[in-house]
Structure 1
Amino acid sequence: MRTPLRPLARVLRARADGSNPDLIERENIHNRQQAMQERTHSRAAARLGLMAACFASFFVLIGVRMGHLANTEPMEPVASAPGAEIVAQRADIVDRNGRLLATNMTTHALYAHPHDMVDPKGTAQALAEIFPDLKADALERRFTDGRRFVWIRKVMSPEQMQLVHDIGDPGLLFGPREMRLYPNGNLLAHVLGGYSFGAEGVHSAEVIGTAGIEKAMDARLRDPAQGGEPLQLSIDLTVQATVEEVLQAGITALDAKGGAAIIMDVYSGEVIALASAPTFDPNNRPVPLIGKNDEASDSPLFNRAVQGVYELGSTFKIFAAAQAMELGLVNPDTLVDANAPMVWGKHRIKEFEGKNYGPLLTVTDVIGKSSNVGTASIALMIGGVRQQAFFKSLGLFDPLPIELVEAPGAKPLIPKKWPDIVTITASYGHGMSASPMHLAAAYAAIGNGGIYVKPTLIKQTAAAKGTRVLSEKVARDSVDMLRGVVTTGTASLAEVPGYEVGGKTGTADKPKRTGGYYKDKVINTFASVFPASAPRYVVLVTLDEPVDSTGPKPKRTAGWTAVPVTAEIIRRTAPLMGLRPKVELAQETTLTASSN
């Protein structure tokens, strides 16, 4: 409680003593003021101490931060908002020997701040001269309609950048960014696919895959945890270049609409070359066809080796023979009914050009002569249920597991029902459709001793794991039959001295969009393995609407079209893959002494 200024007890004593009571009040007022001053001084001292401590802390913090900045590399500041950061880095892609297939290149984007432009009309005309795909009128409208920002070009060459710089308008601005570069141009276009920009700003842009392996492996290529480690493909760039050159030459010579070629290692499943024609430049990826009458296969973007799903004709016949041998129903020398035509209900199974190889043929001759009736007889021994199971084990019922974004959509076309007539027609490659890559993988299982391995575009460092579908003996007998097709059968033009090619031709009438089949349009395929004595590779060629017009009568069978193209591919690529030709020694000559 506060002390009274005039305490009654002291006032009474003062009066008794004859003292002045007013002095008591003055003394108490003085004491009270002195106490208040002491409290105010203490509070001020505390506040000054707190402020001094805060200032000292701030100076220490600023000094530490300045020291930290002085010892770090300068970096461009980035936005801290969630999702605002743009990651532009992307790993390179190289072939199996480390040769560059895709990389990044620093370039510049061009944009405008129209409100800073001095001469919008003149600038628009100058830009249209530098970039022919831009229209001066459209640019001028964009520069003068009140916008504050206008994208002009996402990427441009250094020469174009210099020309824009020479225009000298302060409203034209450049932003650094990375773009994807494919140094080999059209080469390997359908495998690489192409790129586009995702999230983008004026100073950086996100490079993303738009097709092919660029899109299928997009997460891997953009993963910072990979440390920029290149993605190494199974492709051999030199072999790929040779395959594309030969394939295009064959398409031109045979007036074909297009084609595909594949080289695959039978043991690892590695695809050494994959070509599709017509092709394109992934550096300048064309726009897809959008007309209602346009077919997907008419576009150069269409990958015929993977997306093309075709009836592959008589190349399927070896599957019937191999399965029947595996089941113990026949052996290579077993005689089967080949008397043509075969009548099955309302259907008549005929041979090419009305021939009749019957009444009986060995299984080996059924494959060598490519007998439809003989193959149908074998298929009926097998039965539809077992035939479907075998096709499925060869991957012929499912989408490809290969690393291309287009692969999952290329599912084989399988009949909903499987009566005996489908069992017959499927045995010689009609009534169901698959891609050339499906067929190559199935032939690899025959070539490697009976194990199905998944095809891959990634270089393998460990032995491939697969599923056994045939015994080694049946696979070996099947390869021998394929070799016979070349030495004495329908693919004699596939003989490449020193490389023991074995394979099977397939000629299938091309289906119409409205139903039925064309009489003069075919899909021709030759599936081969080599060297037949110890197979290492599958080589497969498919041609769309080829025709050999060198003779008096047009020839449209695979033996005259796909086979010679395959032979040329093998002749030119086998040495590139390290395979030496097997030299056949001439027979010894006996010398006889003469008395003359």
Structure 2
Amino acid sequence: MTPRTPLRPLARILEARARGENPDAIERENIRKRHEEMQDRARARAEGRILVLGAFFLCAFLTVGARMGLLATSEAQEPVASAPGATIATQRADIVDRNGRLLATNFETHSLYAHPQQLIDPEGAADALVQIFPDLDRERLLKDFTGKRKFLWIKRRISPEQKQAVHDIGDPGLLFGPREMRLYPNGSLAAHILGGAGFGKQGVNAAEVKGVAGVEKQFDGYLTDPANGTRPLQLSIDLTVQSAVERVLFGGMRIMNAKGASAILMDAHTGEVIAAASLPDFDPNDRPRPPTSGFDPSDSPLFNRYVQGVYELGSVYKIFAAAQAVDLGLVNSETIIDTSGPMRIGRFPIGEFRNKNYGKLSVADIIVHSSNRGTGRLALQIGAERQQEFLNALGMFDPTPFEIVEAATGQPLKPQNWGELSTVTISYGHGLSTSPMHLAAGYAAIANGGRYVSPTVLKQKGPQYGPRVISENAARQAQMMLRKVVTSGTASFAEVPGYEVAGKTGTADKPKPRGGYYDDRVIATFATMFPVSDPKYVLIVTLDEPSIVAYGEKRRTAGWTAVPVAAELIGRIAPLLGLRPRLEPGQVAGITLTSN
């Protein structure tokens, strides 16, 4: 800091007096100079402040201008509100069937909560609420109302009638919060496909709706993405066909005294699942809780039998061995195979149903009579390595790619050591456990001329052929073998006039939880395609533990149980699918025209 100059310096005053000058003039001069210096410093500070302020305003204008330019050149986006609760008050897209009919949507409702400290009559409010909601515990409610709690959820979701009843109580401590809940207007229809939804993040004025199973959970991201706007998720299922399948399947399950049942109707060319049912089912509007420990999962209505039900499906697999043998050029449908016994693989005998001995059969008749030995001998010609390659190409070793979350749990079970015995037993459906959805994909490859198609729950725009697994010739011969099973084999009850049904029966002993097989419990399956002259659809019907008395005898085989149910299904749904029956003209009565 510069030292200040004295206004009356002693040396200058003495000099001025010696010269006879007035010393006050020196003081006035020094004051003037000091004022000039102060003015210069003040001017410099003011100019600096103006410069800084100008630079600040320049930066602010440049920033605002740059932001305006960026907004002007960018695409418009919907702003996201930052108010409390806005992040969980998201809209969820609808789900519709292939024809645009509503399967799932949102519905405005309310929740009920309380501020106990604001209740005028806690005891009266508790009594009234128990009358409206019988599942509430009065003592617990009264304890919460009279305790130290400041907030209490009473019901997360109430109906308009219940809201009015609570409103009539008239206590200011009982309050309502708006809610968006998921509504399934068709009740239990397609329950295992839709799955269901529940609440995620919750606040007083909003609640997040999240998928908990089925397509609701699989496509949760799509359904909650604002970028999709109002576009619904369109599924491949047909609501009318789905309803018919569930109705007929339920009736068949009751008639056949089965524990459970499943059915899959699949387009053999697009892979679209037109209908899929698993019984018993549930209402996704009131989805039940999962079973507790120590409970057989298949006993729960939540269990999805057509993707989670991994079973040995029995003789329905025989057509795969026959088709592969034809494809490899080892045989054709008329090649004769000796099915006579005995047949042993190591120390294990290979027998026939009810110890039958069919002798020499053509490959087609092996399928018609469902000969284990005949199929086993075809499998031995194919060999274990080629058999595994073929089944793997059909997707039999991987979880089905069907787009519901439960499908990932349907992991096929295959033998660790795939030797000669496994090669034989797997050829007739024992030793390899898969789901009915795997079987549908395998039969679709035969039906469409030899290409793999992946099952899908989403509507497709056309055929979705994958890699070729067998030749068209082998696929066509396999189709004719399956047709013969219906016309003169174990599936004679499957004949539906005009629809040329082809298929194969399969009856497999049901495994015990701790190993071994039940003697009196089976999984009965009928795998079919129609119309065989130009196959369009594959239908898989599976009954869990069926049993029916016919002609004085208890019968469990698929020919007596699953086949009649499938025939009724085809007769009911084929017209809904737009398939016109192809009826052969009847015999014209011989009439002779005479004249009088």
Q: Do both proteins adopt the same fold according to a TM-score greater than 0.5, normalized to the shorter chain?
A: yes
CA distance in 1, matches of 2:470, 2:344: 31
Counterpart for residue 444 of structure 1: 444
Structure 1 counterpart of 2:486, one-letter code: V
**CA-CA distance at 1:569 after TM superposition:** 0.7
* Paired amino acid for 2:452: Y
Measured in 2, the distance between the counterparts of 1:116 and 1:266 equals: 64
Q: Find the aligned partners of 1:235 and 1:343 in 2 and give their Cα distance.
A: 46
Q: Would you say 1:486 and 2:489 are equivalent positions?
A: no
| Cα distance in 1 for residues equivalent to 2:366 and 2:182 | 52
SS of equivalent residue, structure 2 residue 301: coil
Cα offset, 1:141, TM superposition: 2.4
Residue matched to 1:231: 233
- Preserved contact between residue 6 and residue 24 of structure 1 (Cα < 8 Å): no
Tell me, in whole angstroms, the C-alpha distance in 1 between the residues paired with 2:183 and 2:460.
25
Structure 1 CA distance for aligned equivalents of residues 496 and 339 of structure 2: 31
2:432 matched to which residue of 1? 432
Residue equivalent to 1:576: 576
Task: Identify the match of residue 208 of structure 1 among 184, 207, 210.
Answer: 210
Query: Could you tell me how far apart the structure 1 residues matched to 2:562 and 2:266 are?
Result: 17
Map of 1:352 onto structure 2: 353
Q: Which residue does the alignment assign to 2:560?
A: 560
> Does the aligned pair in 2 maintain the 1:341–1:351 contact within 8 Å?
no
Say whether 1:78 aligns with 2:80. Answer: no
| Partner residue in 2 for 1:332 | 333
The equivalent position to 1:150 in structure 2, one of 149, 152, 159, is 152
CA-to-aligned-CA distance 1:516-574 (integer Å, 9 cap, x gap): 21111111000000001100000110000111225421111111110011011110111
Between 1:194-203 and 1:480-489, the stretch displaced more is: 194-203
Comparing 148-157 with 204-213, which one deviates more in the overlay? 148-157
User: What is the rounded CA distance, in whole Å, between the counterparts of 2:219 and 2:272 in structure 1?
Assistant: 17
Counterpart of 2:70 in structure 1 is none
- 1:178-207 CA-to-partner distances (Å, cap 9, x unmatched) read 111111110000000011222222222221
Give the stretch that moved more between structures: 464-473 or 119-128.
119-128
- Post-superposition Cα deviations, 1:361-419, rounded to whole Å, max 9, x if no partner, equal 11111111111222122122212221111111111111101101011111111111122
Contact 2:13–2:26 (8 Å) recurs in 1: no
Bigger CA drift: 512-521 or 36-45?
36-45
Q: Which residue of 1 aligns with 2:453?
A: 453
Match of 2:302 in 1: 301
CA–CA separation in structure 2 for the residues paired with 1:236 and 1:519:
39
Q: Partner of 2:247 in structure 1?
A: 245
Instruction: Give 2:185's aligned amino acid.
Output: P
How many angstroms does 1:24 deviate by? 4.5
Question: What do residues 425-475 of structure 1 show as CA deviations (whole Å, max 9, x unaligned)?
Answer: 111111221111110110000000011110000001243031111111111
Alpha-carbon distance in structure 1 between the residues aligned to 2:42 and 2:146: 69
Q: Does the CA-based 8 Å contact 1:340-1:355 persist in structure 2?
A: no
Counting matched residue pairs gives 575
Q: C-alpha separation between the residues in 2 aligned to 1:44 and 1:473? A: 99
Greater CA deviation, 376-385 or 28-37?
A: 28-37
Amino acid at match of 2:216: E
Alignment correspondent of 1:269: 271
SS at match of 2:289: coil
Q: Does the 8 Å CA contact 1:256/1:544 hold for their aligned counterparts? A: yes
Distance in 1 of aligned mates of 2:165 and 2:45: 69
1:399/1:407 contact within 8 Å kept? yes
- Please give the secondary structure, in 2, of the residue aligned with 1:452: coil
| Whole-angstrom distance in 2 between the partners of 1:75 and 1:459 | 32
SS in 1 for 2:554: coil
Pair 121,551 (structure 1): closer, same or farther in 2 beyond 3 Å:
farther
Tell me the secondary structure at the aligned position of residue 243 of structure 2: helix
Aligned twin of 2:524: 524
Q: What corresponds to 2:471 in structure 1?
A: 471
8 Å Cα contact 1:372/1:428 also seen in 2:
yes
Query: What's the counterpart of residue 539 of structure 1?
Result: 539
CA distance in 1, matches of 2:496, 2:38: 115
What's the offset of the Cα at 1:26?
A: 7.3
| Distance in 1 (alpha carbons) for counterparts of 2:430 and 2:141 | 56
Deviation (angstroms), 1:28: 6.4
1:403 paired with 2:403, answer yes
Paired with 1:208 and 1:341, the residues of 2 have a C-alpha distance of 59
Q: Which moved more, 1:490-499 or 1:586-595?
A: 586-595
Between 433-442 and 147-156, the greater mean CA deviation after superposition: 147-156
Partner of 1:496, secondary structure, is coil
Contact 2:325 2:382 in 1 (8 A): yes
Indicate the SS of the match to 1:558. coil
- Aligned AA (2:432): M
Contact 1:109 1:153 in 2 (8 A): yes
In the TM superposition, residue 11 of structure 1 has moved relative to its aligned partner by 3.7
Supply the distance in 2 between the matched residues of 1:391 and 1:296 (Cα, whole angstroms): 28
Amino acid at match of 1:481: M
| Counterpart contact for 2:400–2:438, Cα < 8 Å | yes
> Is the 1:5–1:24 contact (alpha carbons within 8 Å) kept by the matching residues of 2?
no
Q: Distance in 2 between matches of 1:488 and 1:170?
A: 77
Separation in structure 2 between the aligned mates of residue 594 and residue 27 of structure 1, nearest angstrom: 159
Distance 2:169 2:403 in 1: 46
CA contact (8 A) 1:315 1:429 kept: yes
Residue 118 of structure 2 contacts residue 172 of structure 2 at CA under 8 Å; is this kept in 1? yes
For residues 42 and 114 of structure 1, the distance between their equivalents in structure 2, rounded to whole angstroms, comes to 69
The answer for the alignment partner of 1:66 in structure 2 is none
Q: Distance in 2 between matches of 1:150 and 1:530?
A: 59
Counterpart residue number, 1:5: 7
CA contact (8 A) 1:262 1:274 kept: yes
Q: Shift in Å at residue 114 of structure 1? A: 2.3
Taking a change above 3 Å as real, the CA distance of residues 32 and 542 of structure 1, as seen in their structure-2 partners, is: same
Shift of the 16–229 alpha-carbon distance from structure 1 to 2, 3 Å rule, reads same
| Larger displacement relative to structure 2 (528-537 or 161-170) | 161-170
Deviation at 1:480, TM superposition (A): 0.7
Q: Displacement of 1:138 after TM fit?
A: 1.5
Structure 1 residue 594 displacement after superposition: 5.6
Q: CA deviation at 1:17?
A: 7.7
Cα distance between partner residues in 1 of 2:249 and 2:327:
35
Which consecutive unaligned segments of at least 5 residues does structure 1 have?
Answer: 61-72
Give the Å deviation of 1:121. 2.8
Q: Counterpart of 1:155 in 2: which secondary structure? A: strand
Give me the identity figure in percent. Answer: 59
Deviates more, 1:477-486 or 1:542-551: 542-551
Asked if the contact 1:113–1:148 (Cα under 8 Å) also holds between the matched residues in 2, the reply is yes
Q: Name the counterpart of 1:260.
A: 262
User: TM-score if structure 2 supplies the norm length?
Assistant: 0.89
Residue by residue, what CA displacement relative to the aligned partner does 1:21-41 show, whole Å, maximum 9, x if unpaired? 4x5487469758977997999
Q: Is the 8 A contact 2:7 2:31 kept in 1?
A: no
Partner of 2:364: 364
1:173 match: secondary structure = strand
What is the aligned partner in structure 1 of residue 422 from structure 2?
422
Q: Distance in 1 between matches of 2:9 and 2:339?
A: 142
Alignment partner of 1:413 is 2:443? no
> 1:69 matched to which residue of 2?
none
Question: Partner residue of 1:288?
Answer: 290
Indicate if the aligned counterparts of 1:256 and 1:546 stay in contact, CA closer than 8 A.
yes
Deviates more, 1:409-418 or 1:514-523: 514-523
Amino acid at match of 2:420: D
SS at match of 2:176: strand
Which blocks of at least 5 consecutive residues in structure 2 are unaligned? 62-77
